[in-house]
Amino acid sequence: MTKDGITHDTVPYFTERFEQAYITQLQDFVENVLADKPPSVTCADGVAALQASVAATLSFKENHPVKMSSLEDEVQPEMICSEL
């Protein structure tokens, strides 16, 4: 974070590497909306990804393994998904 804004490093080829995954996910989302079906990727899936990211970040910063189960009290699907 600087006076000019918040930035972070990215891998230059990230979007190219995962291009097809983004396209497939968006196509699935649109198809489900048009068919009035629930999304294939749920809010709980997003929370699980967040938990994995938080655990990985803490593990890196603290230089030791961090179990995702140790974060269950801090990042719960009900806290984020209950109103969706």
Separation in Å, CA 5 to CA 1, 2, 42, 56, 83 = 6, 5, 31, 25, 31
Give the closest residue to 41 by CA, choosing from 28, 55, 54. Answer: 28
Average pLDDT over the chain reads 83
Residues 57-79, mean pLDDT to the nearest whole number: 82
pLDDT in the model for residue 24: 94
| CA–CA separation, 40 and 30 (whole Å) | 11
pLDDT in the model for residue 46: 86
Q: Residue 67: how many CB atoms within 10 A of its CB? A: 9
pLDDT in tens, 33-56: 999 999 888 888 888 888 888 899
Domain boundaries, the chain: 11-40, 42-84
